[in-house]
């Protein structure tokens, strides 16, 4: 198993390669951070108020929410809790419909689980039939992302229901909703009826808090119990605790960003049409663009001009594809101008 290759630390240009909010966080978050007192930083952080704010935003009870140091930590804890085999027991299996958020593969390996990859379908619709065929008595996790990363393609909520009904007792279906704000759709209202589904959310993307590291898992307390055991007791720091409450207190800021994302996607689609690039209509804040044999020239040319795009061509089903964040409109305009310059120069 190869190890996760962290993207290089590029902070001197336009970062469109990690699906972040390049406009940053709400000014109310900065004010809340500035208002932190020395004693708050001196003490281990309290979580009740932040958990309450998150639960209110998501429309669930506090007991259903577990905060984590980024959703990444929640996913690792879930993998450890559900995929670690008992001594002498069989290797437990994680099903991953591809292409997928690559962290699922790495966390499965860290937990000692067996990765069961399901090959992509044309157009990246969820391979439901193939996914169900991959279920065995040893399945313990099905990793889904809605809308998906790196494709931006959504999946029908009914497919999630079907999978949740078909996995064995003791297994969980994980629905990663890192980009749910952009799609305006969530499985969370269904959780009452599906105790074996855990939803993951993050404040890194729509809320622009990636640098502070805060996300959460949402689900039935009993299903969550072993995951909570795998999360260090004080893993979310006081800055993130203050920031998430301030961010949730400024939903106008979120709405403005969502409007920019919608406009940016249209700009990028139009540019792709002009440049003869195909793309997958996205429900997220990024777009997967297929540049075919022009991918290297495009990614490198943009890099040389200080615009960072993510080459996804080695991901299953993604040959020739790159991923571009579509957030702040001004940033998208810059990216489009650079793409046009690079591809015209390469002609």
Residues in contact with ligand PLP by the rule CB under 6 A = 19, 70-72, 101, 145, 149, 176, 178, 202, 204, 210, 215
Smallest distance, Å, CB 208 to ligand PLP?
11
Q: Which is it for strands 278-280 and 286-290: parallel, antiparallel or unpaired?
A: antiparallel
Contact between 75 and 103 (Cβ < 8 Å): yes
Name which of 242 and 343 has its Cβ closer to ligand PLP: 242
Name which of 120 and 215 has its Cβ closer to ligand PLP: 215
Name which of 215 and 219 has its Cβ closer to ligand PLP: 215
Name which of 111 and 343 has its Cβ closer to ligand PLP: 111
Beta strands in 183-264 (DSSP E): 197-202, 215-218
d(CA 255, CA 237): 26
Q: Which residue has the tokens 């008992």?
A: 86
Smallest distance, Å, CB 337 to ligand PLP?
26
Name which of 7 and 46 has its Cβ closer to ligand PLP: 7
Tokens of 205: 């993307």
Name which of 139 and 146 has its Cβ closer to ligand PLP: 146
d(CA 230, CA 247): 27
Name which of 145 and 264 has its Cβ closer to ligand PLP: 145
Smallest distance, Å, CB 53 to ligand PLP?
16
Smallest distance, Å, CB 8 to ligand PLP?
16
d(CA 78, CA 145): 15
Smallest distance, Å, CB 145 to ligand PLP?
5
Q: Which residues of 318-337 are buried (b: 16+ CB within 10 A; e: fewer)?
A: bebbbbbbbbbbebbebbbe
- The full length of the chain comes to 347
Residue (of 27, 53, 59) closest to 256 by Cα position: 27
Residue (of 129, 177, 123) closest to 151 by Cα position: 123
Q: Which residue has the tokens 């990663």?
A: 176
Residue (of 17, 22, 20) closest to 303 by Cα position: 17
Could you give the 3-state DSSP secondary structure of residue 227?
Answer: helix
Residue (of 4, 18, 9) closest to 323 by Cα position: 18
Smallest distance, Å, CB 34 to ligand PLP?
23
Smallest distance, Å, CB 164 to ligand PLP?
19
d(CA 41, CA 207): 23
Smallest distance, Å, CB 29 to ligand PLP?
15
Name which of 19 and 196 has its Cβ closer to ligand PLP: 19
């Amino acid at each position: 198993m190869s190890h996760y290759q962290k993207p290089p630390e590029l902070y001197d240009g336009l970062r469109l390669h990690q699906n972040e909010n390049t406009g940053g966080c709400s000014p109310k978050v900065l004010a809340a951070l500035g208002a932190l007192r020395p004693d708050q930083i001196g003490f281990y952080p309290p979580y009740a108020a932040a958990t309450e704010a998150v639960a209110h935003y998501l429309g669930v009870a506090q007991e259903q929410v577990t905060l984590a140091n980024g959703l990444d930590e929640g996913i690792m804890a879930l993998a450890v809790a559900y995929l670690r085999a008992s001594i002498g027991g069989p290797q437990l299996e994680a099903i991953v419909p591809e292409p997928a958020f690559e962290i699922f593969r790495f966390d499965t390996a860290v937990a000692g689980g067996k990765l069961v990859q399901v090959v992509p379908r044309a157009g990246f619709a969820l391979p439901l039939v193939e996914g169900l065929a991959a279920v065995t008595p040893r399945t313990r996790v099905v990793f889904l992302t809605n809308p998906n990363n790196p494709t931006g393609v959504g999946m029908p909520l009914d497919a999630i229901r079907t999978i949740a009904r078909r996995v064995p007792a003791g297994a969980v279906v994980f629905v990663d909703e890192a980009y749910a704000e952009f799609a305006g759709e969530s499985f969370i209202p269904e959780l009452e009826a599906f105790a074996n589904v855990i939803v993951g959310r993050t404040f890194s993307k729509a809320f622009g808090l990636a640098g502070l590291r805060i996300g959460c898992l949402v689900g039935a307390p009993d299903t969550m119990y072993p995951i909570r055991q795998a999360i260090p007791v004080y893993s979310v720091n006081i800055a993130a605790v203050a920031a998430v409450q301030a961010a949730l207190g400024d939903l106008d800021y979120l709405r403005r960003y969502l409007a920019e994302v919608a406009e940016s996607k249209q700009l990028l689609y139009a540019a792709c049409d002009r440049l003869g690039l195909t793309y997958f209509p996205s429900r997220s804040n990024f777009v997967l663009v297929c540049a075919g044999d022009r991918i290297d020239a495009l990614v490198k040319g943009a890099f040389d001009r200080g615009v960072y795009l993510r080459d996804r061509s080695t991901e299953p089903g993604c040959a020739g594809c790159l991923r571009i964040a579509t957030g702040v409109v001004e940033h998208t305009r810059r990216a489009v101008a650079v793409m046009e310059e690079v591809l015209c120069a390469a002609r």
